[in-house]
Amino acid sequence: MTFEAEFTAHAPFLRALARRLATDEHTADDLVQETCVAALTGAPRPHGLVPWLAAVLRKRAARHMRTGTRRRARERTAARAPISADTADVAVKLDVARRLLQHVEALDAPGRDAIFLRYYENLKPQQIAARLDVPLGTVKTRLARALARLRERLDADHPAGRQNWLPALCAIGGLDPGTLGMPPGAGAVTTRAPVLRLLRNAAGLVLITTVAVTSLSWHANDPAPAQSTTASRGTALSRTTVDPRVQRDPLATASPATLVHGLVEDAAIGAAPGHGQPAANVTVRCRLRQPGGSASSHGAARAADAKTPEVLTVPTASTVEVEVTTDAQGHFQIELPDDAVLVAAKADGTEVLRAARWSAAKGVDRPPEQLVLTRYPQGRLEGIVTEPSGTAVAGARVTLTHRQDGERVAIETSADQDGHFVFATADAGSWLAAEREGFIQVGTSELRALPRGGWQPARILLAPAGTLTVEIVDASGRPALHVDGVGVAVGSTETGLFAATDCRPRTPLLARAPTAQGAATLCVPAGLDLVLLAGESMFVHEQDGQGVAPGSPTGRPISVGAGERRRLRLVLGTDLSVHVTVVDPDGQSASGADLWFEMVHGGYLESIRMATTDASGRFELPLSGAWRDQLLLITARKSGDSEGPRAVRRLQIDGAEPMFVELRLAPAQSLVGRVHDASGRAVAAQVRRLLRFPGEGDWIEHSGAWRTDEHGAFRVPSIAGAVQRLEVAGDGFTTAVRDDVRPGEPIEVVLEPAKRTRLRLLASASATAIGEVEVRVGHLEADDGVDPAWPALGPTTAWSHAALHALCTLPVPQRIRRPEGIWRLEVHRRSPRTDADARGVVELLLDRGPAWISVSARGPDGEPLSRVTTGPVTVAGDEVELPLTLSNTATCRGRIRFGEHSEHFAACVALADDGGRLLMISAPDHDDVWETVLAASSPGYFALSNVPIGTWELRVGTREELERGEARRRRRVVFAGELAEPIVVEL
């Protein structure tokens, strides 16, 4: 395969990657062009072309970013004013340096230690925190306070304040006082790091430079020197936005401040806030946000009166974390400027007390007048060990594990005769496990702390064990010796079990056993549907003691009884190979020919391999896994000749023996045509090719697309032996289809202007608030060209919660063939505008004609809302306003219990409205997959989520029965929120 063809095939991927990495379209185009040039130089590609191209493009993008950063830094440096020689007086500099070091010695022990470790031993704050065994936030606060005190004392030493000592420090550190005229934050951000790196070997100068740089940042926002004592008392200062081209006045005006009062208390489990005992000497960490702030920090100042609580002065930073300590009555205060926002406050806990938190909700600009941070005891952890059937497991050994200093620490207890266990205390990062002889753990619940202390009851699932011996053979029946091992997992049909019991599978693989002579023995959970993984194949069903491929209409789930020993045979087509020989039109071996192997999968051609023939024109393709009854498309072409001879062969894989095929290259043929509008003007369009082979009913969409040139002409390679269809789409035009096109016959495509309707979805004033909306629109392209007589879409069109069309459940946009024609699915995601004139309005442009519309949404906090559909409608007219009402949703859990004489079957559940139509629902943790019928687990557990508020009929039966509208058991259920008690259905 030529590089030109390979690069063209992967160009869309590279352009998309470049647009994500680059700052603008022009840079993205340059990156793609540079990547192409690098590939043409013949660099090695050991891991394939696509990963290599992606790596080259990322390196080019990083180089562009570094180059731009350095260029901007040089431009800023060149634009600065030269340093005045007047500030370089040696005596003044030495005096300032001596005074600074004296002030460092006079600091309190915590501040002096922090300064020494940071600027004399050149340790990072994280390293200092580890050495002193204190939180990182404490280190940053100590450094900020120490630097603030050093600035205050230097101000006090000089009558004129900072204007005297600041130029001297700038001269010592090699800084430019002109930084004061730069935009907010630019001086501190761009100058500090280079100077620190330059002077890291001179500890004293590093500290001097740091004080100078942080002072530069603050000097642009500080009040006049005569007012500097005000800043030291805790008054936060505001920023003044100026034109960066104008020299800034260093005298800023102080803005009013807000004083926030807080209280930290310790309460009993379950007590309401405000009913606890004051917590003294507790560290409170606060996170604040101030728009447009500098990256430097301002230290917190302690009140002069030791009897008053500590007052925290907010640093002028975009986002900063600071801390304050409560007084003897548990009180603390935070002083912040008007434009700063307190977004979070956290009171630390001990090994007994949980941390207390407060976070600002969306849209909250100010905290309450008094913050009450209530800490609750963690309390004891209670739980139960049961089988999936609900039977208690007595005598199980239960382990509670957590990490401490990087090591695992575990404590153990035993379950009583009712399966209950208790731990006196637990940590938030702990996890549970249980074991008992003859059982295997399949799931456990996560530890969840209750809002007012204590823990939500936990559950551990232990299933009785069985033994499964797996025999692995190849297509010819010989042992598959190359398979290293076999793994077993719980099948997806058991989703209801874990959702209903609030548990998660223990691990993706419950067990794994190595193979010996093509066989492996596994200890597996009994009574559950299992999935086996061997090599690259997965088996979820079995028939007559042999595993069958996923999606097979025959067979039953793989399962083992308690204490049962079973044997299962898995057939892998590991010895199956396709031997390809390519010859030229004269019958001579075609060495170095390019080969493409594509597998037909779900109506698409999926590329599985690209290769090149050897010197004798041969290539062998090994196929691993169960490849029975698969359709393989092989394309051959002379390397480097995109217009030269080619050959295409369709091959049906039987999975039994090696297959041999000869491809004879023949002169290439193409589908040639022109695209224009009704007036004859050329149209820029995209052309896609679909294939259908004799005996196959569905169209296959071939990967890739072709664009017309400036004259509207196109040339698409033809596939011999297949019926071909072209779909031509242009922006602003309707899609045109040309069936049964043949090479050699000119193809003329006339595109008509698209007729579209503006759809405005208007959220009802009484409806639940909407955060984001997903609209799925299915357009029908009828085979006979005659639109069905469906009702017109209009303001009176009724929304329904029922799924009126199978396309409603598709997770991704696709083209699906139905008896009426071809459905084209589009997905639109929107966030409703929040301005007063268009609150809750979503606008779409839809193609006119037969369609259906399905809408799902989430609330402002991300909670799922109900999903509704119009059913089949006809879109017409210029504009349609359609009222939209979405409701909150509920969840429920339940279990189907089979009686002693009841027939056991693969039970499923569904919900129906009063008209008998099935609702669109989903399973927990699968909000994006909507279905009408959900399978219950083997023990009969099920869980439903995203159920619209209302009264619905719960139906139980097989999948086929429920889809036909039948049921073995029906029950009316009122959904008004999360149902606390599980629903029990007796059969």
Give tens-digit pLDDT for 566-611: 999 988 765 567 899 999 888 889 998 998 888 776 566 777 788 8
Q: pLDDT digit string (tens) for 518-531? A: 899 999 999 999 98
Consecutive H or E run containing 473: strand 458-473
Q: What distances in angstroms separate CA 866 from CA 11, 555, 748, 843, 919, one per listed residue?
A: 40, 36, 47, 20, 10
Q: pLDDT digit string (tens) for 502-513? A: 888 877 778 888
* Separation of alpha carbons 865 and 861, rounded Å: 11
C-alpha of 491 from chain center: 24
Determine the average pLDDT of the residues in 224-252: 31
Q: pLDDT digit string (tens) for 931-974? A: 888 888 888 888 888 888 889 999 999 988 998 899 999 999 99
pLDDT band at residue 338 using 50, 70 and 90 as cut-offs: low
* Residue 701 confidence (pLDDT): 65
pLDDT > 80? residue 227: no
* Residue 416 confidence (pLDDT): 95
pLDDT > 60? residue 238: no
* Residue 219 confidence (pLDDT): 40
Cβ-based neighbours of 682, under 8 Å, separated by 6 or more = 674, 675, 676, 708, 710, 711, 712
Under 8 Å between Cβ of 984 and 390: no
Determine the average pLDDT of the residues in 877-900: 87
Q: For residues 402 and 25, which has the higher predicted lDDT (pLDDT)?
A: 402
Q: For residues 73 and 641, which has the higher predicted lDDT (pLDDT)?
A: 641
* Separation of alpha carbons 131 and 540, rounded Å: 54
pLDDT band at residue 656 using 50, 70 and 90 as cut-offs: low
Q: For residues 62 and 363, which has the higher predicted lDDT (pLDDT)?
A: 62
Under 8 Å between Cβ of 402 and 430: yes
* Separation of alpha carbons 623 and 633, rounded Å: 14
* Residue 461 confidence (pLDDT): 95
Interhelix angle 25-40/49-79, nearest 10 degrees: 130
pLDDT band at residue 32 using 50, 70 and 90 as cut-offs: confident
* Separation of alpha carbons 786 and 464, rounded Å: 60
pLDDT band at residue 692 using 50, 70 and 90 as cut-offs: confident
Apex 385 CA angle, 446 and 354, nearest 5: 35
* Separation of alpha carbons 329 and 816, rounded Å: 69
- Three-class secondary structure of residue 189 per DSSP: helix
Determine the average pLDDT of the residues in 137-143: 80
Q: pLDDT digit string (tens) for 833-850? A: 544 444 567 888 888 889
Amino acid identity of 180? L
Cβ-based neighbours of 501, under 8 Å, separated by 6 or more = 386, 388, 443, 445, 459, 461, 941
* Separation of alpha carbons 195 and 773, rounded Å: 51
* Separation of alpha carbons 34 and 888, rounded Å: 52
pLDDT > 90? residue 909: yes
* Residue 77 confidence (pLDDT): 56
* Separation of alpha carbons 497 and 934, rounded Å: 12
* Residue 307 confidence (pLDDT): 40
* Residue 48 confidence (pLDDT): 61
- Closest-CA residue to 485 (of 573, 594, 570, 548): 570
Q: Which of 65-69, 201-205, 775-779 has the lowest mean pLDDT?
A: 201-205
* Separation of alpha carbons 913 and 932, rounded Å: 12
Determine the average pLDDT of the residues in 803-815: 52
Q: Which of 158-167, 381-390, 689-698 has the lowest mean pLDDT?
A: 158-167
Determine the average pLDDT of the residues in 58-71: 72
Q: pLDDT digit string (tens) for 406-458? A: 788 899 999 999 999 999 888 878 899 999 999 999 999 989 888 888 899 99
* Residue 617 confidence (pLDDT): 92
pLDDT > 80? residue 537: no
* Residue 73 confidence (pLDDT): 61
pLDDT > 70? residue 40: no
* Separation of alpha carbons 5 and 640, rounded Å: 8
Of 261-265, 547-551, 729-733, give the range with the top mean pLDDT: 261-265
Determine the average pLDDT of the residues in 150-159: 73
Q: pLDDT digit string (tens) for 716-726? A: 888 877 888 88
Which two three-digit tokens encode residue 422?
């208790």
The DSSP-derived string for 771-792 is SEEEEEEEEEEETTSPPP-PPB
* Separation of alpha carbons 916 and 914, rounded Å: 5
pLDDT band at residue 475 using 50, 70 and 90 as cut-offs: low
pLDDT > 80? residue 908: yes
Q: pLDDT digit string (tens) for 176-214? A: 554 433 333 333 333 333 333 333 333 444 454 454 444
- Mean of the per-residue pLDDT values of the chain: 76
Which two three-digit tokens encode residue 307?
């009897």
* Residue 968 confidence (pLDDT): 93
* Residue 504 confidence (pLDDT): 85
* Separation of alpha carbons 414 and 151, rounded Å: 61
